């Protein structure tokens, strides 16, 4: 799979929104605009790393916005113009050399996971692509006196959004060429690619993916645009796998050395199975066996992280987010305590859910029952998710 980085441009002062606080640090439904934007990218399984470009005065604000979110690299300082800021972000990623890069404005916090998926697909297919929507207003070109100079044919016009999507090496080269040639003032990355002679493809944008520009936008978004996630649900999951021959057990996506293995059709990761069922339970969307039947040979030996990612994708496809995951592993052996933090970290990596929202606990059954007799491992889990209210069926 191609690696994909995101550059989030958050260096603007946003003076048009009024007040001393830049717009990307205004609150929307309990979190800042920037945090919401970062969270949506961090939660997407195909995004590997996130580079934020900030104003040097905003280090503390950035730290609060990014706290606990996975995949977010240390910020870099932006330049005088947007073009300089994106170039700084591209240079910060030069050590990683991602295959693809998305460039996104921090002040667009209302995109969906489906838009990210389309952006990645378009970048892989075309090398350079931008999300567009049709224009409903008639657009006029006016002269310096405010008099109409011409009227472009509306059917040929498109409004351009972000994330704009590129092959990393192509965009970096184009930006460096533009800098060397002293070409500035290009207001988006497509314009940099156009200037350097590349064809830029388009893909379908989203009407809801609006840019917060004015104080009015912020107020309206705070009121309604944020689609408050007030439909809070908790699901539970339970799973058991018996010990069999082997030299390790998979628990929460982590291989733990042991003198036995766990029997099962997949990798028998009892913890991830319980979590997957908990998320599906919160969605009222069947169970792991219904979506991944053991009778289907394609799941033989499968790693269980994909089951949990599948369930989380369903939450995100409905515009929701995961508030909390809680997993209890029940066994006499192996000892879970020494691995507990590593399991939490692994679950955070798999799911994109912040570490502070993931709990892993362990207990024994005081040598009673099948786990007490060391015949296998049981796991129980709960998942609390938040969905938009209008999504309730």
- β-pairing, 4-10 vs 100-105, is parallel
User: For residues 43 and 267, which CB has a smaller minimum distance to Mg ion in the complex?
Assistant: 267
Looking only at residues 264 through 293 of this chain, which bind Mg ion when binding is defined by CB under 5 A? 273
Binding mask 201-240 for Mg ion (x = CB under 5 A): --------------------------------------x-
Cβ of residue 45: shortest distance to Mg ion, in angstroms?
21
Write phi, then psi, for 319 (nearest 5 degrees). 80, 15
Closest C-alpha among 170, 239, 165, 163 to residue 198 = 170
Q: Total binding residues for Mg ion by CB under 5 A? A: 2
Q: Tell me the C-alpha to C-alpha distance, in Å, between residue 112 and each of 43, 109, 156, 208, 261.
A: 11, 9, 26, 9, 40
User: For residues 57 and 263, which CB has a smaller minimum distance to Mg ion in the complex?
Assistant: 263
100: cis peptide before it, omega within 30°?
no
Burial 32-71 (b: 16+ CB within 10 A, else e): bbbbbbbbbbbbbbbbbbbbbbbbeebeebbeebbeebbb
User: For residues 270 and 385, which CB has a smaller minimum distance to Mg ion in the complex?
Assistant: 270
- β-pairing, 231-244 vs 376-387, is antiparallel
CA 118 to chain centroid: 14
Cβ of residue 365: shortest distance to Mg ion, in angstroms?
19
Cβ of residue 379: shortest distance to Mg ion, in angstroms?
9
d(CA 10, CA 55): 7
Contacts of 196 (CB under 8 A, 6+ apart): 173, 174, 177, 178
User: For residues 220 and 248, which CB has a smaller minimum distance to Mg ion in the complex?
Assistant: 248
User: For residues 82 and 273, which CB has a smaller minimum distance to Mg ion in the complex?
Assistant: 273
Looking only at residues 11 through 70 of this chain, which bind Mg ion when binding is defined by CB under 5 A? none
- CA torsion 71-73-79-84 (nearest 10°) is -60
Cβ of residue 262: shortest distance to Mg ion, in angstroms?
9
User: For residues 36 and 273, which CB has a smaller minimum distance to Mg ion in the complex?
Assistant: 273
Q: Tell how many helices (H) and how many strands (E) occur in the chain.
A: 12, 19
Cβ of residue 284: shortest distance to Mg ion, in angstroms?
20
User: For residues 188 and 269, which CB has a smaller minimum distance to Mg ion in the complex?
Assistant: 269
Q: Does 379 bind Mg ion (CB under 5 A)?
A: no
Cβ of residue 241: shortest distance to Mg ion, in angstroms?
6
Looking only at residues 317 through 356 of this chain, which bind Mg ion when binding is defined by CB under 5 A? none
d(CA 49, CA 7): 9
- β-pairing, 321-330 vs 148-150, is unpaired
User: For residues 26 and 273, which CB has a smaller minimum distance to Mg ion in the complex?
Assistant: 273
User: For residues 14 and 271, which CB has a smaller minimum distance to Mg ion in the complex?
Assistant: 271
User: For residues 65 and 240, which CB has a smaller minimum distance to Mg ion in the complex?
Assistant: 240
Cβ of residue 283: shortest distance to Mg ion, in angstroms?
18
Cβ of residue 138: shortest distance to Mg ion, in angstroms?
59
3-state secondary structure of 207: coil
Cβ of residue 310: shortest distance to Mg ion, in angstroms?
14
Residue nearest to Mg ion (CB): 273
Closest C-alpha among 67, 49, 68, 50 to residue 59 = 67
Cβ of residue 266: shortest distance to Mg ion, in angstroms?
7
8 Å CB contact between 71 and 96: no
What residue ranges bind Mg ion (CB under 5 A)?
239, 273
């Amino acid at each position: 799979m191609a690696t994909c980085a995101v550059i989030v441009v958050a260096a603007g002062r946003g003076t048009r929104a009024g007040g001393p606080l830049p717009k990307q640090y205004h609150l929307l439904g309990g979190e800042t605009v920037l945090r919401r934007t970062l969270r949506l990218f961090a939660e997407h399984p195909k995004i590997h790393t996130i580079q934020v470009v900030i104003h040097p005065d905003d280090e503390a604000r950035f730290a609060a916005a990014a706290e606990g979110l996975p995949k977010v690299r240390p910020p870099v300082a932006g330049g005088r113009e947007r073009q300089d800021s994106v170039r700084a972000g591209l240079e910060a990623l030069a050590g990683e050399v991602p295959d693809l890069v998305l460039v996104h404005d921090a002040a667009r916090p209302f995109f969906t996971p489906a838009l990210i998926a389309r952006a990645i697909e378009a970048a892989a297919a075309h090398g350079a692509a931008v999300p567009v929507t049709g224009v409903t207003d008639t657009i006029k070109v006016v002269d310096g006196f405010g008099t109409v100079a011409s009227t472009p044919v509306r059917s040929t016009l498109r409004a351009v959004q972000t994330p704009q999507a590129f092959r990393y090496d192509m965009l970096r080269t184009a930006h460096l060429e533009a800098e060397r040639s002293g070409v500035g003032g290009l207001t988006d990355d497509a314009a940099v690619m156009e200037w350097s002679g590349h064809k830029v493809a388009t893909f379908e944008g989203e009407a809801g993916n609006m840019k917060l520009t004015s104080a009015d936008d912020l107020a309206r978004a705070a009121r309604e645009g944020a689609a408050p996630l007030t439909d809070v649900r908790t699901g539970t999951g339970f799973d058991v796998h018996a010990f069999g021959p082997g030299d390790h057990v998979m628990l929460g996506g982590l291989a733990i050395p042991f003198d036995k293995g766990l029997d099962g059709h997949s990798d028998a990761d009892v913890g991830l199975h319980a979590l997957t069922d908990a998320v599906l339970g919160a969605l009222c969307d069947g169970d792991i066996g219904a979506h991944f039947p053991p009778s289907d040979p394609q799941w033989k030996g499968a790693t269980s992280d994909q089951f949990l990612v599948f369930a989380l994708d369903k939450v995100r496809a409905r515009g929701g987010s995961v508030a909390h995951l809680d997993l209890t592993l029940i066994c006499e052996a192996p000892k879970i305590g020494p691995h507990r933090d590593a399991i939490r970290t692994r679950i955070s990596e798999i799911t994109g859910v912040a570490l502070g929202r993931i709990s892993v606990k362990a207990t024994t059954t005081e040598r009673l029952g099948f786990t007490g007799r060391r015949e296998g491992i049981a796991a129980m889990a709960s998942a609390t998710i938040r969905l938009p209210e209008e999504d309730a069926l």
